[in-house]
A and B are shown apart, each in its own frame.
Chain A
Amino acid sequence: MFDVKVGVLALQGDVEEHEHAFKAAAKELGLTIEVVRVRRTEQLSDVRAIVIPGGESTTIGSLANRVKLLDALKERIIDGLPTLGTCAGAIFMAREVKDSVVGETGQPILGVMDIAIVRNAFGRQRDSFEVDLNVDGFGTLRAVFIRAPAIVKVWGDTKPLAKLRYPRVGEVIVAAQENAMLATAFHPELTTTAMHKYLLEIARGKA
């Protein structure tokens, strides 16, 4: 048996990296967990937390729309399902999305979190970077930014957790929280278990 069942939205993106981070986090907490790759609406019903991975937000959006997962997922997140969205996942959760080059994208999104996000804000892949980042409540993390977006505005109950000053872009938010929703512009799954541990703890009602 397992202590808690969690999901990773598995339409496209770095699903296995998140699975690995979840398992490593559970080991550190001494928990037994089951990680479900969520691809159908019925798989959503009994997970206690979900990750929306990094990937291409346009691809994840159009696939979620096609298999009718978009509305079901939106409903569960609004109901309070603890959710972590990394990079493309954060874009998918945002209420407002733009691209730094193309502008309006009109792509399908969940639109559940009070953040405005700009895609590809730091430039192209050659500009992708890693940096030590201080994240409120998580300490200093090695943060890997890959063709990363930036959060340019938060409102309502959303709190910024980490900020970064970058040439041309100025100071932007790169991690934010609204109740049980966490959004990061970087990829914690590649370097740390801190955020997955936190997600497991709220899923068990311990945080």
Chain B
Amino acid sequence: MSVSQSFEYLEKLRDFFYGMLELRDRLRERGFIWPRPYPVDGLVVGTVKVKVGFPAMLRNGVIMDVTNVEQSQIAEEAGAVGVMVLDKLPYDVRKAGGVARMADIKVIEDVMRHVTIPVSAKVRIGHYYEAFILESVGVDLVDESEVLTPVDEQHHINKWLFNVPFVNGCRELCEALRRISEGASMIRSKGEAGTGNVSEAVKHFKALYKSIEELASAYRSGDEERLRDFARQCQVPIELVTLTARLGRLPVITFAAGGIATPADAALMMWLGADGIFVGSGIFKSQDPRERAEAIVLATAHWDDPEIVVESQRMVSERSAMMGMDVKSLRPEELLQVRGV
């Protein structure tokens, strides 16, 4: 499915949300201006095509969590399609407790000066100003992430206001569609970050595709009532539900994230329908980051070629993998995935 089929509707949705916003004028006064005026005639930035098109270029690729320049260079050499700069890897966020915030701007800028691939960073759920700062710094993709401590229990950022594309996490279809209607240009599974355990990501992908298949079959049989019920239940526009049902997938690029630690984990998620992979703690919490990074890139690109998946798994040793945790052993308040629904 080409994301170009989503442009027309998402452009309408953007105009609708943007047009009715009183907030726009208030934000304009504070320096948010959209569309950004540009010194070349007829040239526009921050459009749907540019924001939803960008993640399409990341297809079949791996985005790796890094905390410094050295790690980002290892990621680039291994063939990553992007790096995500964090202050602490999700595993350490989990261990450290306290409030987890946006990464250090100096580190992000340092990484941007040293690698040619896209640089992403995380903001707290609902934190407009962290997002505004990252956009100004020049980050290529903003992850509004449950791994950091949310600042708004009720609302996510209105992402239509930004020129920079956003990725958001989801556990099932309703959550994904709500994020897209708020302007997310890309979706990822939430999984359970920092556990080295891919089981929650598997659960979230299966839930996502089960609902999509149900909607697709309702669409094929002309059961408009079912689509309307679903839209009402999820509190999203019916047109967005219909588009998803017609395409048989989310209308934006969908990556797998949360607990991916081995090449086999990556290949599994690609098989379950992911367009690409985010690896958090899995690489730089292992004993063999260089080999593991390269092996995960290889397994992601060739997930449907058994010989190459075997070869990639052979490149890493299970003894060097990060120690995983059983998600069942976590207390309910330790779960990150329940933040921001």
Chain B interface, >50% SS class: loop
CA gap between A77 and B324 in the complex, in Å? 47
Beta-carbon nearest neighbor of B38 in chain A = A129
Q: Is B50 a contact partner of A63 (Cβ separation < 8 A)?
A: no
Query: Which of A15, A102, A191 is in CB contact (< 8 Å) with B60?
Result: A15
* Chain B neighbourhood of A166, CB < 8 A: 40
Number of A-B contacts (CB under 8 A): 155
Hey, what's the 0/1 contact readout for A58-85 against B, CB within 8 Å counting as 1? 1100110011000000000000000000
* Chain A neighbourhood of B148, CB < 8 A: none
Q: Is B4 a contact partner of A55 (Cβ separation < 8 A)?
A: no
B94 interface residue per 8 A CB criterion: no
A147 interface residue per 8 A CB criterion: yes
Q: Is A125 a contact partner of B116 (Cβ separation < 8 A)?
A: no
CA gap between A153 and B4 in the complex, in Å? 31
A131 interface residue per 8 A CB criterion: yes
CA gap between A100 and B163 in the complex, in Å? 21
Instruction: List A residues 1-51 near B (Cβ within 8 Å).
Output: 10-17, 19-21, 39-40
CA gap between A16 and B50 in the complex, in Å? 17
Query: Which of B45, B59, B60 is in CB contact (< 8 Å) with A129?
Result: B45
Q: How many residues of B contact A (CB 8 A)?
A: 53
Given contacts A59-B297, A126-B45, A129-B43, contact A11 B60 (CB under 8 A): yes
Given contacts A12-B61, A58-B117, A105-B116, contact A130 B81 (CB under 8 A): no
Q: Is A17 a contact partner of B61 (Cβ separation < 8 A)?
A: no
Instruction: List B residues 296-337 near A (Cβ within 8 Å).
Output: 297-298, 301-302, 305, 308
A-B contact pairs, 29 of them (CB 8 A): A11-B60, A12-B59, A13-B59, A13-B60, A14-B53, A14-B57, A16-B59, A54-B57, A55-B59, A55-B81, A56-B80, A58-B76, A58-B79, A62-B77, A63-B297, A63-B301, A67-B302, A67-B308, A87-B57, A124-B112, A125-B54, A125-B164, A126-B163, A126-B164, A129-B38, A129-B44, A146-B54, A147-B57, A190-B4
- Which A residues are within 8 Å of any B CB, using their own CB? 10-17, 19-21, 39-40, 54-56, 58-59, 62-63, 66-67, 87-88, 99, 101-102, 105, 119-120, 123-132, 144-147, 165-167, 187, 189-191
